[in-house]
């Protein structure tokens, strides 16, 4: 099971691509229901903790279900 933090569309749009340290930026992912998720590594969490974005760490983890990507059918023989 994959877990991440659910954020609002507004938060995702506001923070998408924003750097929270010198070389790491926020990148939100939508699930099967178009809900935005934030995935952070342990080191990301440490880096974010002393910043203005620390509130994101208070969001509980939720199960992420990836969107289903249709596989093209190749009818050529």
What is the average pLDDT across 62-66? 94
The pLDDT-based confidence of 31 (bands split at 50, 70, 90) is very high
Domain assignment of residue 23, given as a range: 2-64
- Residue 43: the pLDDT is 95
pTM: 0.84
Q: What DSSP state is assigned to residue 68?
A: P
What is the average pLDDT across 47-60? 97
What is the average pLDDT across 15-37? 95
Is the C-alpha dihedral spanning 42, 29, 21, 60 positive or negative? negative
Q: Is residue 76 part of a domain?
A: no
Domain count of the fold of the chain: 1
Asked whether the beta carbons of 46 and 67 are under 8 A apart, the reply is: no
What is the average pLDDT across 11-19? 97
Q: Is residue 73 part of a domain?
A: no
């Amino acid at each position: 099971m994959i877990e991440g933090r659910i954020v609002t569309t507004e938060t995702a749009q506001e923070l998408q691509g924003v750097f929270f340290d010198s070389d790491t930026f926020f990148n939100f992912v939508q699930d099967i229901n178009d809900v935005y998720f934030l995935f952070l590594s342990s080191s990301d969490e440490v880096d974010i903790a002393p910043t203005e974005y620390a509130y994101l760490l208070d969001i509980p983890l939720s199960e992420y279900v990836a969107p289903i990507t249709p596989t093209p059918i190749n009818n050529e023989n």
